[in-house]
Structure formats: C-alpha cells, structure tokens
Amino acid sequence: MKRLTFLKINNLLYFVYLSDGQIHWVIQRVAAAGILFSMLTFFSFFFFWLFLIIVVFLFFHIFAGIRTLLDDYIHDLNLFLVSNLFLRLSNVYFIKIIYLTFLC
C-alpha cells in the first residue's frame, strides 16, 4: 500500500515537472484576475480582508513573473541556481513579513 502511494506521489510530481510552464501561466492569470476582482470589490466595500487577499494575490503574481523571467533569460547554471535560491529565500521572508504585518 505504501509503495502504491509513493508511486502516485512520484507520478504527480513528474506531471508537475512536465507541465511547469503551464502551471506558471495559470498562476499568473489566476493571480491577475484575483487582483483585479479583489481591487474592484475592495474599492466598493473597503473590507480589510479584501486588502489582505489583494496582497496575497499580488505576492503570487510577482513570484510567478520573476520565476518566468529567471527561467527564460538566465542560461548560466550557477547563476540560475543562485537566483532561484535567492528568490525562494526572499519568498519566505516576504511571507513572514505579510504574516507579521497583517495577522499578528
């Protein structure tokens, strides 16, 4: 049973690896639509939670955009790995800042 679950997880991760560009495209579009819808609703009703949703969608939109730029334009492997590491570390930092600013 454990082996079957491991194979399913492995197949899912392999599918995500193969469709990485499509996932970035979908994240970009969903985040942009979420930002637009949240901003229109926020300016109509002025709820704090809508502002938080805008910030979260904006974070994912920026992350996916920078990741796309890194994938497309950085061809040196060492620079790509360092850039990816810096992007991931900065994401953790910004998630922490968003959490501490809005939820604590």
CATH number reported for the structural domain that contains residue 37 in this entry? 1.20.1300
CB atoms within 10 A of CB 57: 20
pLDDT at 8: 64
The band of 37, judged by pLDDT with boundaries at 50, 70 and 90, is: confident
Least confident range of 1-10, 65-74, 89-98:
1-10
- Give me the torsion for CA of 75, 77, 79, 85, rounded to 10°: 120
Q: What are φ and ψ of residue 76, in 5° steps?
A: -75, 125
Q: How far apart are CA 33 and CA 50, in angstroms?
A: 14
Q: pTM of the predicted model, to two decimals?
A: 0.62
The radius of gyration of the chain from alpha carbons, rounded to an integer in Å, stands at 17
Across 32-43, average pLDDT: 82
Q: Which two tokens stand for residue 103?
A: 């939820």
pLDDT at 5: 59
The band of 9, judged by pLDDT with boundaries at 50, 70 and 90, is: low
Counting the structural domains of the chain, the total is 1
Q: How far apart are CA 98 and CA 94, in angstroms?
A: 6
Range of the domain at 74: 2-102
Q: Which two tokens stand for residue 81?
A: 């790995």
The band of 26, judged by pLDDT with boundaries at 50, 70 and 90, is: confident
pLDDT at 16: 56
